[in-house]
Amino acid sequence: MSSKPAVLPDQTDLPVLEREPAKVKPPPLFTVYLLNDDYTPMEFVVIVLQKFFSMGRDQATLVMLKVHREGRGACGTYPKEVAETKVEQVNGFSRMHQHPLQCTMEEA
């Protein structure tokens, strides 16, 4: 009778290229969002979406209007460090221009 070993074999008796590939999880992804507020000009939000999320003007306008009407809208989904950088860049750019626009992220 043959049954699976209770623990995975370490396969160190085999040449590297003949071992089973290690099972690695894909890195978690994070979605970056813009939040609505009553003060940031619509045109500024459209510029942010074009500048930091590589959107064309038409797509940027649609996302801005979704945020305006629904309170929040997704700008893109990225690996954690990329998402963190986008959030910092957008919030820094908004503060530099004295706008209260808020950018956040959460795991996708």
Give the interface with ligand TYC as residue ranges (CB under 6 A). 34-38, 40-42, 45, 64, 67-68, 101
The residue (of 81 and 106) whose beta carbon lies closer to ligand TYC is 106
Minimum Å gap between C-beta 88 and ligand TYC is 17
Q: Which is nearer to ligand TYC, 68 or 74 (CB)?
A: 68
CA 31, 40, 54: angle at the middle one, nearest 5?
40
Q: What secondary structure does DSSP assign to 68-91, as a single string?
A: HHHSEEEEEEEEHHHHHHHHHHHH
Minimum gap (Å) between residue 55 Cβ and ligand TYC: 13
Least distance in Å: CB of 101 to ligand TYC? 5
CB of 26 to ligand TYC, least distance (A): 30
Residue with smaller CB distance to ligand TYC, 13 or 58: 58
Q: Which of 40, 41, 59, 35 is nearest to 49 (CA)?
A: 59
**Count of C-beta atoms within a 10 Å radius of residue 52:** 19
CA angle at 97 for the pair 36 and 29, rounded to the nearest 5° = 50
